Amino acid sequence: MQMLENLRSTTKKIYYTLEPRIKAERIISVILVMTPLILWLADGALEVRESISNYAYMTFSYWYGSLLALAGAMFIFNGAIHMQPHEAGEPSVSKVGKGYNIILGISLFGVIYFRHLDYPVWHYSFAIIFFAGSALITAFVSNEEKHWSRYVLALAVVLPVVLALDFIGVFSLFWGESISLFFIATHYMLES
């Protein structure tokens, strides 16, 4: 029990030491924005694949797994660190807390483990949880209380993915996901 308490104390000290300089939200933003580009470069093909999820089938698929796992781990870390109780005198990070990020992180791991051609129902369920959850969080959980820009940003998160669906097909799912990730990253950058 004492070891767990020491670990918790050390984690809080590290977090509150780093927080003014480096926030998890900023790291998440950079990873999300860079993932499509890094995957395309790692694949070595001139054309992009049909979706980000299709990079799970490239020769160097560890890039796909690593980037999404890193983003997922950062989401889980962000959610867990904000759920810790605050002692008197410590700054409160948010009124609502950011425990919802744990669900987003787990959904990214689900996207990794259930590849879209092998397990389409599971894969797309986790992907929907990630993108729809990100849009809902952007719209309804924000530091900007009752500001219309949250709803516009939430629409910008979900609309590109919807426009990329096969029956609409404005552009490929890769571009829809990439644009959506940009706006999710924008939300986290604004939150930080």
How many structural domains comprise the chain? 1
- pLDDT on residue 97: 59
100 has pLDDT over 60: yes
Predicted confidence (pLDDT) per residue in 31-45, tens digit: 999 999 999 999 999
pLDDT at 110 over 90: yes
Give the highest mean pLDDT range of 47-56, 73-82, 90-99, 183-192. Answer: 47-56
The pLDDT tens digits of the residues spanning 142-183 come to 665 667 888 999 999 999 999 998 888 889 999 999 999 999
Query: Tell me, what's the pLDDT at 77?
Result: 84
Q: What band does 191 get if pLDDT is binned at 50, 70 and 90?
A: confident
Residue 161, domain extent: 2-191
Alpha-carbon torsion (169, 119, 47, 134), positive or negative: positive
For position 175, what pLDDT does the model report? 96
Task: Find all residues with CB under 8 Å of 22, minimum gap 6, and list them.
Answer: none
Residue 3 is which amino acid? M
86 with 95: CB under 8 angstroms? no
Local confidence band at 21 (pLDDT 50, 70, 90 cut-offs) = very low
Q: Which two tokens stand for residue 117?
A: 């051609």
Percent of the chain with pLDDT strictly greater than 70: 81
- Indicate the pLDDT class of residue 95, thresholds 50, 70 and 90: very low
Write the CB contacts of 36 (distance below 8 Å, at least 6 apart in sequence).
48, 52, 174, 177, 178, 181
- Average pLDDT score, the chain: 85
Q: How confident is the model over 131-142, as pLDDT tens digits?
A: 999 999 988 876
**Model pLDDT, residue 103:** 95
Residue 93 is predicted with a pLDDT of: 47
